Structure 1
Amino acid sequence: MFVIFGAAGNVGRVSAAALRRAGREVRAVVRNNRQGAVLADIGCEIAIADLLDPTSVARAIEGAYAVQMLCPVPHADADPVTTMRRMIDVSADALRANPPQRLLALSDYGAEHASGTGITTLFHYLETQLAPVASQLTFLRAAEHMHNWGRVLPIALARGVLPSLHHPLSKQFPTVAAQDVGLLAAELLLDDRPAKVSPRVVSIEGEARVSALDVARILGELAHRQIEAHEVPRGEWAAMLHGAGLGENHARLITDLYDAHNAGRIDVESEISERRFGATAIADVFAAILARAGAASTATSTATSTATTAAR
């Protein structure tokens, strides 16, 4: 049994589907039945679990040959650091008590640093807590996910300005498509060859690094309009993040992360990492986001038109 935590997410959903295509039994761990519906359609067993609940996590990994572990940053939480550390502790305790033969943890570039990297320090903590688990252990460290830019695409399309915390705008940084992370995770879980080292550290990023200038140009080409990258001044970061709905503690994690990015601390740990490269270009990811947004807009317009007609 292959157990996938976060199976409803961008990475986990791809991993689960790839494992099912390979003929493996998959238990998809999700937060509720609604999330599990699509996964059940492809033949996954569905497990409902709360990462803060030791009993449900222990139940989810029963009988597992392999586990893909994801501890997500709790975006709506007033104290995301404390909550995510609790999730990590609960998961690590369950895995130490009942270790699967293979364990893959989804981590981040920069996770080798114990401090000073914002959100990424939480993935350092994840790796530290999972290291004692008696499994063949792999840390899959991913670069910044391309779809994260989706949060600011509506602003860019509406105003013709793409806000960026990457400084300077010409600085190139690694990114990766979530689907490529999910496919590689499944490939690594299916690799039955004995690992030369444990934990095994594997990194993944896209074939080409990009800058904020590149991101604005690519988006403009897809949207058929002029979009300019804008370097958000450091002193305005917190206010912008608060305006986007993030609490003070979460905003601080983001600002610390981008300070580390801009200082060159968030990158592949090339000395120990096996390097892999995804095949998906950032233009393909943006095109898919824009297509979904267009479909949603069309559906909303159709529903509004239908309702107006019916009311006449």
Structure 2
Amino acid sequence: MHVIFGATGKVGRSTAAALRHEGHAVRAVVRSPAQREMLTRIGCEVVTGDLGDEASIHRALDGAQAVQMLCPLPHRDPDPADSMRRMIDTAARALRAHPHLHVVALSDYGAELDADTGITMLFHHLEAAFRDVAPRLTLLRSAEHMQNWARVVPVALATGRLPSLHHPLDRPFPTVSAHDVGIVAARLLTDGSDEGQVRIVSVEGPRRYDANDVARALGDASGRDIVALALPRGEWTETMLRAGLNANHAKLIVDLYDAQNTGRIDVEAGTERRFGTTGLRDVVAALVSTINA
């Protein structure tokens, strides 16, 4: 039995579908019974659980041989970093009681760094916590998801300007489709893991892109003239506050892009590498189609 936490997210759904396609038994963990329909349809056993509830984690792991762990940043929380750290610590306590499990933990590029990386610092905490409790551990570090551009696509379609925190606009950065991350995660879950050895795998897309590439792909998909706009550094926080984020969440993002734009966040040398097959244009076209629909 393979257990998938975060099964209703883009990566989790992709992992579950890939495992079911290969005939593996999958237990999908959802927070609400209303989320179970799609997962039931593809043959998953669906259970409710919450990474903030240790008892529900134990129930979800009963009888499992492998588990995919995703600890998401709580977007509407007044202190998302503190809440995510508590979630990670709760998950780690539960995993300690299941040492036979192969744990595939979803992490981020740059998680090896221990300071000043914003959201990525939380994945540094996750990796450290899980190393202490999971004898069979695979860390899957993902580049930035291409689907994250969905947050600003409506603005770009309305104004012809694609706001970007990637500076400069012509600097290529690693990125990957969430769907491809799920496919790689499914393969790693079925690979198994040797006890006492932490396996680190880094995944990104078939090539690197810059913000200008994103704008061109969006223009081609929408049939409009769209150019990338480097949002001035001094306007980042205010822009995010206007978009509904709180100050704590905004600071995590600012710190992340400061680190990324200075070249600190990238694939760690010496890690295993995987490359997805989905190109940026396909992802952007799907985003535009969804918005138009």
Q: 1:227 is matched by which residue type in structure 2? A: I
What is the CA distance between 1:263 and its match in structure 2?
Answer: 0.8
What is the CA distance between 1:133 and its match in structure 2?
Answer: 2.4
Q: 1:97 aligns to what?
A: 97
For residues 196 and 185 of structure 2, the distance between their equivalents in structure 1, rounded to whole angstroms, comes to 17
TM-score by length of structure 2 reads 0.97
Q: 1:309 aligns to what?
A: none
Q: 1:310 aligns to what?
A: none
Q: 2:161 aligns to what?
A: 161
Q: 1:261 aligns to what?
A: 260
For residues 275 and 153 of structure 1, the distance between their equivalents in structure 2, rounded to whole angstroms, comes to 30
Q: 2:238 aligns to what?
A: 239
Contact 1:67 1:100 in 2 (8 A): no
Q: 2:39 aligns to what?
A: 39
* Matched residue SS, 1:279: coil
What is the CA distance between 1:114 and its match in structure 2?
Answer: 1.2
Q: 1:28 aligns to what?
A: 28
Contact 1:118 1:253 in 2 (8 A): yes
The C-alpha deviation readout for 1:110-150, integer Å capped at 9, x for no partner, is 00011100000000000000002243210000000000001
Contact 1:102 1:136 in 2 (8 A): yes
For residues 26 and 154 of structure 1, the distance between their equivalents in structure 2, rounded to whole angstroms, comes to 36
Contact 1:204 1:277 in 2 (8 A): yes
TM-score by length of structure 1 reads 0.92
What is the CA distance between 1:99 and its match in structure 2?
Answer: 2.5
Q: 229-238 or 50-59: which moved more?
A: 50-59
Q: 40-49 or 111-120: which moved more?
A: 40-49
Q: 2:236 is matched by which residue type in structure 1? A: W
Q: 1:117 aligns to what?
A: 117
The aligned runs of 1:162-241 (5 Å cut-off) are 162-192=162-192, 195=194, 198-241=197-240
The C-alpha deviation readout for 1:20-72, integer Å capped at 9, x for no partner, is 11111111011101111110111111111121111111111111100000000
Contact 2:218 2:288 in 1 (8 A): no
The aligned runs of 1:291-310 (5 Å cut-off) are 291-295=289-293
Contact 1:64 1:100 in 2 (8 A): no
Q: 1:22 is matched by which residue type in structure 2? A: E
Q: 1:301 aligns to what?
A: none
Q: 2:160 is matched by which residue type in structure 1? A: G
- Long gaps (5+) in structure 1: 296-312
For residues 261 and 212 of structure 2, the distance between their equivalents in structure 1, rounded to whole angstroms, comes to 15
Q: 1:96 is matched by which residue type in structure 2? A: R
* Matched residue SS, 1:71: coil
Contact 1:144 1:174 in 2 (8 A): yes
Q: 1:302 aligns to what?
A: none
Question: Larger C-alpha radius of gyration, 1 or 2?
Answer: 1
Contact 1:260 1:266 in 2 (8 A): yes
Q: 1:70 aligns to what?
A: 70
What is the CA distance between 1:225 and its match in structure 2?
Answer: 1.2
The C-alpha deviation readout for 1:65-113, integer Å capped at 9, x for no partner, is 0000000000000000110001000100000112243110000000001
For residues 20 and 245 of structure 2, the distance between their equivalents in structure 1, rounded to whole angstroms, comes to 37
Q: 274-283 or 51-60: which moved more?
A: 51-60
Q: 2:126 aligns to what?
A: 126
What is the CA distance between 1:196 and its match in structure 2?
Answer: 9.3
